[in-house]
C-alpha cells in the first residue's frame, strides 16, 4: 500500500532524477518535504513509505525527519508559525514577538490551538537577522520586521484564509 498521491510520487521522481541512481538517499529531504506538504505532517507510516519508495533504510529517513525542525513528526495546525528565537533576533524583539503570539493565540511554543488552526514553534536562524523579528509560516512564507501591528495583520489574514496560504 502506498500513502502518497501519484502526483507526489511523480514529484519525488523528479527529485530523484537530480542524483546518480546509487544516490537515491540524496533525495530524502526533498521527498520528505513533498510528503509533509501532502499529509500535513510526517507520521511513522509516511516516513516508512518514503524510505520504501527511495529504497533506503527507514532509520535514515527518520533521522532526517527528526533532525530538521522544518519537518513535523507530530500533527500541527493549518498554519505553523515558527518564530526565530536565536540570539540576534532575541536581542531585537524576537522574544517580544513570540510573547505577543502566545498571548494572542493562547498557546505556548510546541502547542496548537484547540481549533487546529495555529501551531507555534521556536525556529532557528532564518538568515534574515537584520530584519528581526523574523518568523516563517508553514516553512515557506518568511515574514520580517514583525512588530505587534504586523503580527496582528498576519493573524487577521490567516484567520480569514481557508487553507494553506503560505
| Residue 80 contacts residue 121 (beta carbons within 8 Å) | yes
Contacting range for ligand FES; rule: CB under 6 A; set: 18-26, 63-71, 101-109, 121-129:
121-129
Select the span of 36-44, 73-81, 104-112, 120-128 touching ligand FES (CB under 6 A): 120-128
Residues in 30-89 that interact with ligand FES by CB under 6 A: 84, 86, 88-89
Q: Give the x/- contact pattern for ligand FES in 84-103, rule: CB under 6 A.
A: x-x-xx--------------
Per CB under 6 A, 134 contacts ligand FES: yes
Q: Say whether residue 126 binds ligand FES (CB under 6 A).
A: yes
Pairing of strands 118-123, 79-84: parallel
Q: How far apart are CA 64 and CA 50, in angstroms?
A: 12
Sole binder of ligand FES in the list 60, 125, 153, 165 (CB under 6 A): 125
| Closer CB to ligand FES, 77 or 98, in the complex | 98
Size, binding site for ligand FES by CB under 6 A: 11
Contacts of 43 (CB under 8 A, 6+ apart): 73
Alpha carbon 20 to chain centroid distance? Answer: 28
What's the CA gap between 36 and 60, in Å, rounded? 17
Q: Work out the number of other CB atoms within 10 angstroms of the CB of residue 15.
A: 18
Host H or E run for residue 12: helix 6-16
**What's the closest the beta carbon of residue 96 comes to ligand FES, in angstroms?**
13
C-alpha–C-alpha distance, residues 3 and 46, integer Å: 7
By CB under 6 A, which span of 13-21, 39-47, 105-113, 122-130 interacts with ligand FES? 122-130
Residues that bind ligand FES (CB under 6 A): 84, 86, 88-89, 125-129, 132, 134
Amino acid at each position: 500500500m502506498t500513502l502518497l498521491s501519484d502526483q507526489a510520487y511523480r514529484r519525488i521522481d523528479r527529485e530523484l532524477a537530480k542524483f546518480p541512481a546509487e544516490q537515491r538517499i540524496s533525495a530524502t529531504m526533498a521527498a520528505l518535504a513533498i510528503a509533509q506538504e501532502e499529509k500535513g505532517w510526517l507520521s511513522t507510516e509516511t516516513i516508512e513509505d518514503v524510505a520504501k519508495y527511495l529504497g533506503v533504510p527507514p532509520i535514515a529517513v527518520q533521522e532526517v525527519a527528526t533532525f530538521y525542525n522544518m519537518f513535523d513528526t507530530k500533527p500541527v495546525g493549518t498554519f505553523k508559525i515558527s518564530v526565530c528565537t536565536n540570539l540576534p533576533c532575541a536581542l531585537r524583539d524576537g522574544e517580544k514577538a513570540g510573547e505577543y503570539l502566545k498571548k494572542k493565540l493562547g498557546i505556548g511554543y510546541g502547542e496548537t490551538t484547540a481549533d487546529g488552526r495555529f501551531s507555534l514553534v521556536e525556529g532557528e536562524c532564518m538568515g534574515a537577522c537584520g530584519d528581526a523579528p523574523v518568523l516563517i509560516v508553514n516553512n515557506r512564507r518568511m515574514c520580517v520586521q514583525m512588530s505587534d501591528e504586523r503580527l496582528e495583520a498576519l493573524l487577521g489574514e490567516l484567520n480569514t484564509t481557508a487553507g494553506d496560504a503560505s
